[in-house]
Amino acid sequence: MIFKSKSLLLFTIFFITNHLSAQQYQKTDKGIKIQSAGTAIEVQFYTPSTVRIIKYQANTAFSKESLSVIKTPQKVPFTVKTEGNSISLKSDKITLNINQQTGAINYLTNLGLPLLQEKPEGARFTPFNDAGNQTFSVSQAFSLDKDEAIYGLGQMQQGRMIQRNFSVNMIQGNTDDYIPFFQSVKGYGLFWDNYSPTKFSDDQQSTSFSSEAGDGADYYFIYGGNADGVITGMRDLTGKAPMLPLWTYGFWQSKERYKSQNELIDVVKKYRELGVPLDGIIQDWQYWGNNYLWNATEFLNPEFYNPKKMVDDVHGLNAHMIISIWNSFGPHTKPYLELEKKGMLLDIKTWPESGSEKWPPNMDYPSGVRVYDAYNPEARDIFWKYLNKGIFSLGMDGWWIDSSEPDHLQQKPSDFDNKTFLGSFRKVRNAFPLMTVGGVSANQRKTSSDKRVFILTRSAFAGQQRYGANTWSGDIQASWQTLKNQISAGLNFSLCGIPNWNSDIGGFFLSNYRRKLDDPEYRELYARWIQFGTFCPMMRSHGADAPREIYQFGKKGDKVYDAIEKFIKLRYSLLPYIYSTSWDVTANNSSFMRALVMDFPTDKRALNINDQYMFGKSLLISPVSVPMYVKEGTTEGEKAMEEDFAVIKSKETYLPQNTVWYDFWTNEKINGGTYVKKETPLDVIPVYVKAGSIIPIGPEVQYATEKKWDSLQFRVYPGADGSFVLYEDEFDNYNYEKGAYTEIPVGWDDRSATLTIGARKGKYIGMISNRTFSIILPDGKKKTVSYSGKKVAVKFK
């Protein structure tokens, strides 16, 4: 009897203890809620491989609608188990172990492989007065493996590929576009969903995000297995990248600035006369007139006497035109007057400071220009109303949104107390580009679906890929180091899930080159930069201090001119490859510019290379970023640089292992896992093709849609099985979203040396029904086949 009583007592204690333990968390439809050390923690599954973590002080409330994340949580099957002080959540993709005492979370694969650990001290909340709103400064620290490679954080001009062992204060700037996101070579990503000024810090002790303002810590863990999988998860959260028009992938010319519509039209005419391909021309600022009329969204400058005719003339020359718009307005403009009346302008110093256009600014005549509240949906609609009436209705093809961070001069702490529609400017500072680009994009789509949205913009934030925007790297100085830094800047930006990026070919400012275009070193730099631009999502020549049109660099037969022309024409021959890659980006969440970690994550020698990348999944690009063909000479008694082409120089390139490669120019076959030297005369950079690649080559054209793709080459590179999907649609509308497109699958079987062109899938108005494909191997073997949409196999011995 006594024995039975003791047993009953022990059973009762055991039951109560486990019951209490089980009650230390609350299971929800999305995940669980718990409290630990005074911190409330919510875990919400968005997909089996993506989870949102929210941490806030237990005695406060947390409610937030994300500006970046547009996905709502799916109903995800998961299990919850407790063991000791640990709560384990498990989906069919990932496992989270939560320490109930510290609140720290460990993230693992379902095989138990560790991915990421939070530091035991957990999230930190420091009381903060945000313009009268009592909130917190928030931070969260993580523990990474000692040698773990991480990438992302947006675009920075540091030349850094792996983002370890440094700190950076993230406030959007002209040449730095910050995104509080990184991904690891281990196949996971972390998005810190906060828009206030944020510090990222990494050292041997911890990796952390710390933001000035936030009611709590709010972040997303994404497990993708590899870089493409992480990007897929990020775009699943924040939006897919839509198709851009085919013409955006041609060559673009602009400068600071064309001073009349006649000058602009003459540039397009000159390209046509020279037979050099061109698809886009851009009008920079001041077409509105003086600084008091800043960004008037009208052509008030008398040099632009008939803007409708200007746009029509560009179209008549089979080119497209986009135009500079800003996020601030002069005090004499219609948008300013309407926005000011409704309290939708911010009080921060911005560009231009003076009403006088002379330099330096004459502050006796302040411009009165003010930035608008892009966080306010009504303000965004007002901006569009004037854009539509004054510019879009003329037939303009797209937008160049300058200063989209925006310019914030002589920053003062009180500037961040400005009230916006969503709270203090501080609270939402870094999301400004997302909001203003999103406003133009969404309003154009409401207005018309006849042409796809295309926006060139200077800044970005997480999620901006969903708005049809291509970000450029800002007003950079022309130098060899700057050119090299663009490579890692663009790659880390792309690794944040935003695929469209470019830079000013030749650099914006030429202050390093006193003789401007007459400086032979600059001319060499420009030639190398245009080669890099050939293999970027947008190929655009632009800059201040000197014009950059091809004819400014001489004439046919001159080395620099010929190098520029060669690579512009190469760009056009690759348009079927580039446009099909753009479909891979839209449909399959791929990337144009691919850091080597994306395709070769197990090759340790490839992980930190900052001057090579894959363009699409077939081409390895190794831009030349050092001068090779100049020497010191004398000009009028002064030391100067002179051209010296007497000796051909070389560049060394690493070819990743476990892959066979082909020299793009010579078809030489090379085994991977080695460094190779390539002679690089002024009109050649190292380009290598991965074995198994199938690259479609288009016709020689003067603009992207001049000729149909009814007679294409397929260049096939044996050594591995391969596949490619040739994509086509109507090239500039949104009918592809309704299924108006075609895919032609092409496969190479290496063992049997057979190329199979599969049955065409889909259809659209204007589809090519019958065509010819020429299949060419590196050894020169060639076969030609007719194709009417049915499967065709071509066998080579």
Q: Is 729 in contact with 736 (CB distance < 8 Å)?
A: yes
Closest C-alpha among 80, 66, 68, 76 to residue 46: 76
In a domain, 720, yes or no: yes
In this model, does residue 358 exceed pLDDT 90? no
pLDDT tens for residues 727-739?
A: 999 999 999 999 9
Residues 310 and 441 in one domain: yes
Q: What is the pLDDT, as a whole number, of residue 638?
A: 60
Average pLDDT over residues 20-31: 76
Residues 44 and 174 in one domain: yes
How many residues are listed for the chain in this entry? Answer: 797
Identify the weakest region by mean pLDDT among 113-122, 181-190, 393-402, 745-754: 113-122
In this model, does residue 1 exceed pLDDT 60? no
In a domain, 77, yes or no: yes
Q: Is 772 in contact with 710 (CB distance < 8 Å)?
A: yes
In this model, does residue 695 exceed pLDDT 70? yes
Count of structural domains within the chain: 3
Average pLDDT over residues 673-694: 98
Copy the structure tokens of residue 10.
Answer: 């022990």
Average pLDDT over residues 174-180: 98
706-730 per-residue burial string, b: 16 or more CB within 10 A, e: under 16: eeebeebbbbbbbbeebebbbbbbb
pLDDT tens for residues 487-511?
A: 999 999 999 999 999 999 999 999 9
Of 238, 263, 283, the position where a domain reaches its end is 238
Q: Residue 748: give its domain's CATH number.
A: 2.60.40.1180
Q: Residue 552: give its domain's CATH number.
A: 3.20.20.80
In this model, does residue 328 exceed pLDDT 60? yes
Burial of 748 (0-12, 13-18, 19+ CB in 10 A): buried
Residues 197 and 272 in one domain: no
In a domain, 443, yes or no: yes
Q: What is the pLDDT, as a whole number, of residue 632?
A: 80
Cα(169)–Cα(178) distance, rounded to whole angstroms? Answer: 9
Q: Which positions are catalytic?
A: 402, 405, 475
pLDDT level of residue 640 (50, 70, 90 thresholds): confident
Q: Is 128 in contact with 417 (CB distance < 8 Å)?
A: no
Q: What is the pLDDT, as a whole number, of residue 577?
A: 99
- Per the structure, the complete domain to which residue 190 belongs is given by 25-238
In a domain, 741, yes or no: yes
Of 192, 208, 238, the position where a domain reaches its end is 238
Of 591, 623, 648, the position where a domain reaches its end is 591
Residues 62 and 125 in one domain: yes
Q: Residue 128: give its domain's CATH number.
A: 2.60.40.1760
Residues 447 and 585 in one domain: yes
Q: What is the pLDDT, as a whole number, of residue 121?
A: 86
Residues 139 and 273 in one domain: no
Q: What is the pLDDT, as a whole number, of residue 2?
A: 39
Residues 253 and 286 in one domain: yes
Residues 229 and 280 in one domain: no
Could you tell me how far CA 374 lies from the centroid of its own chain?
Answer: 21
pLDDT tens for residues 566-599?
A: 999 999 999 999 999 999 999 999 999 999 999 9
In a domain, 294, yes or no: yes
Q: Is 257 in contact with 240 (CB distance < 8 Å)?
A: no
Residues 140 and 215 in one domain: yes
In a domain, 612, yes or no: no
Residues 93 and 188 in one domain: yes
In a domain, 768, yes or no: yes
Contacts of residue 146, Cβ cutoff 8 Å, sequence gap at least 6? 204
Q: What is the pLDDT, as a whole number, of residue 633?
A: 73
Residues 155 and 202 in one domain: yes
In a domain, 609, yes or no: no
Cα(281)–Cα(311) distance, rounded to whole angstroms? Answer: 10
Residues 553 and 537 in one domain: yes
Cα(366)–Cα(291) distance, rounded to whole angstroms? Answer: 10
Percentage of the chain modeled with pLDDT above 70:
96
